[in-house]
Amino acid sequence: MGLPLDLGGASERGGERMQNWMKRAVPGAIVLGGLLWGSTALADTELKMMLFGGPVDVAIWEKLSADFEASHPGIQVTVEVNDWDSYWEKLRVLIAGGTAPDVFAMDASNYPDWQARGALMKLQALIDAEPDLLADVYPVSLEAYQTADGYYGLPRDFQTIALFYNKDMFDVAGVAYPTDQWTWDDLRAAAKQLTKDTNGDGSTDQWGLFAELIDMEAFWSSVLWSHGADIVDVANGKTLIGSPEAMTAWNFIAGMVLDDKSIPTAEQLRQFGADGFQAGVTAMGVSGHWSVPDYAPAGFRWDVAPMPKGPVARVTSVNSAGFTIASTTKHPAEAWELLKFAIGPHAQEELAGIGFAIPIQKSIAEGPAFLEQKSAPIDHKLFVDALAYAKVKPVFRGYEEWASAVGDSLQMAWSGALPIADAIQQAVDDGDAVLANAR
């Protein structure tokens, strides 16, 4: 085990989604484009497994594949880890060429499209044969993988979103730390107060909030939902982000971006890196647990708080990453054993220790492996407790194209090229066109 056979280029894990982990997505991490290893022992069955991730994932899955082989004599596993962008490009090529890996990672948002293409093996009969298999799994983590005729994949881990804050910046400014009573108005007021030109050169060099403004997961979905808006009606092919409730939320965000200028633009962040909070130039950030390992070694004191309340409710998003089996696998029984192992207690406990995501097994997520991570002495339970007010990030056929269309319009708004109302109307029109084509 452990011999690198193929090395590719480096890129950010998660791409634009910070993913989101997920996302899924580890913002700011540099990863090997493709790292592949496998044992050299002869085996009755050889399985190929592919996933997205970074150096930490390489190490943990090398160990886990060895553990699996030890408990499943006669099965050899070859694992390949790719960065986010390279992963999806390579997966498309392999599936199109009829050489798909037996087991491969899946982001919940992309799952419906891959299932619709016939690329995934149906798992429902296998799950039905083991009634207790999912007994310890959070039901919300399963929602994205349910289809009208059963499961074609299962979650591995999931993410909720929280508010991160730089205690040092708050202390210097004399601003009280965020609490579970904060509203979006409280966040906006604090962000405005924490946006500064600290060196007096006439340019802002400290901002109040870092937030991903294009992808919905980390920020704008929560703002819309908490204002009583919804995002998409898949059954009727409607993009709902232009409703009166949604426009109130969009105007709030636009006020922070364009009026207060308390959220840095991508151009302003360019010199600091993709994540303004990690770079120490924003006082707050909204992100998932995927950011915790990156933030742990930061040279400032930080902590987490729940997402602020909106006029209607407090809402956060929940998204997951999972595993699927190729419909063309020649070893369905053995691939099923590997998938079960990957989502089972042993693997879940090992994965909890690296801190990138919340385990799907309740006993692991609510136990010491996840809650007592020593690298970051924060309240990890806050991310689990967020399930009480979480909504599942929408998943549907055509999601990638829909998100791209909506994102293009949002970019026009945040750059000032279009008024927010016009940009949202364009997003609705373009999003509806995608939904119509995907039905």
- Would you state the pLDDT for residue 25? 37
- pLDDT of 17 reads 41
Write down the CATH superfamily of domain 162-318+395-438: Periplasmic binding protein-like II (3.40.190.10)
Q: What is the pLDDT of residue 20?
A: 39
Average pLDDT over residues 405-430: 97
Sign of CA dihedral 185, 256, 239, 112: negative
> Which pLDDT score, from 0 to 100, does residue 374 have?
84
C-alpha torsion 175→177→183→187, nearest 10: 50
Render pLDDT for 121-171 as a digit per residue (tens, 0 to 9).
Answer: 999 999 999 999 999 999 999 999 999 999 999 999 999 999 999 999 999
pTM here is: 0.90
Q: How confident is the model at residue 14 (pLDDT cuts 50, 70, 90)?
A: very low
pLDDT value of position 375: 84
3-state secondary structure (DSSP) of residue 325: strand
Average confidence (pLDDT) over 30-52 = 66
Task: Report whether 249 contacts 421 (CB < 8 A).
Answer: no
Task: Report the pLDDT averaged over residues 284-301.
Answer: 96
User: Residue for token digits 């690296």?
Assistant: 354
What whole-number distance in Å separates Cα of residue 117 and Cα of residue 129?
A: 26
Q: CA-CA distance, 81 to 197, in Å (whole number)?
A: 42
Residue 29 predicted with pLDDT over 70: no
pLDDT in tens, 358-411: 999 999 999 999 999 988 999 999 999 999 999 999 999 999 999 999 999 999
Q: Kindly tell me if the per-residue pLDDT of 27 is higher than 80.
A: no
Q: How many CB atoms lie within 10 A of CB 329?
A: 18
Among 117, 74, 140, 219, smallest CA distance to 384 is for: 140
DSSP string, 94-160: HHHTT---SEEEEEGGGHHHHHHTT-B---HHHHHT-TTTTTTB-HHHHGGGEETTEES-EEEEEEE
Q: What is the pLDDT of residue 2?
A: 33
Q: Could you report the per-residue pLDDT of 294-346, keeping only the tens digit for each?
A: 999 999 999 999 999 999 999 999 999 999 999 999 999 999 999 999 999 99
Does the pLDDT value for residue 28 go beyond 80?
no
38 pLDDT above the threshold of 90: no
CATH of domain 10-159+319-381: 3.40.190.10
R_g of the chain computed on alpha carbons: 22
Q: Which two tokens stand for residue 319?
A: 């998204």
What residues does CATH 3.40.190.10 cover in the chain? 10-159+319-381, 162-318+395-438
The pLDDT of 191-205, averaged and rounded, is: 96
3-state secondary structure of 261: coil
Instruction: Give backbone dihedrals phi and psi of 157, rounded to 5 degrees, phi first.
Output: -160, 175
Give the pLDDT of residue 145: 97
Compute the distance between CA of residue 309 and CA of residue 89 in angstroms, rounded to an integer: 39
Say yes or no to pLDDT of 4 above 50. Answer: no
